Amino acid sequence: MKDELLIQEALLAREQAYCPYSEFAVGAALLTGSGKIYHGCNVENASYSVANCAERTAIFKAVSEGEKEFVAIAVVGGKKGTPPVDYTYPCGVCRQVMAEFGDPKEFRILVAKSATDYKEYVLKDLLPESFALL
């Protein structure tokens, strides 16, 4: 799958963001080894710390459906109702969740403003020397 297509999926996922408190809407699209794409959006809560990020929503959806091999994730974010103007990087918690399942040198993270304007990393770039037990 082309990077541009995965980013388009993240932009679609972003439309479902539930972010009435921050008004910062994030979308993620996760490509699995089996070729499926899982969408994720941020889901906030009146008790603010309960919010779930778009990336974790996508990963948890996939794992709950039996997927554990991940190839890439695209992430887009910005003020709700307007197109992204900056790159939105995964938070530290989401990076740690990615490290549970993604190969540090292989799992790709696409941080995008649009389908054609994006930066590409592997997990090791964003979370070097990560903690793991397995």
Name the token pair of 7: 């980013």
Catalytic residue chosen out of the listed positions 55, 65, 69, 100? 55
Q: Determine the size of the site formed for ligand THU (CB under 6 A).
A: 16
Shortest approach of ligand THU to residue 85 CB, angstroms?
Answer: 15
54 binds ligand THU (CB under 6 A): yes
Nearer to ligand THU, 23 or 34 (CB): 23
User: Cβ of 91: how many Cβ atoms within 10 Å?
Assistant: 13
Amino acid code (one letter) for 109: I
Closest CA to 64 of 40, 35, 48, 43: 40
Taking each helix axis from N to C terminus, what angle separates 92-101 and 54-64, rounded to the nearest 10 degrees? 30
Query: Please, which of residues 56-75 interact with ligand THU by CB under 6 A?
Result: 75
Whether 69 is a known active-site residue: answer no
**Active site members:** 55
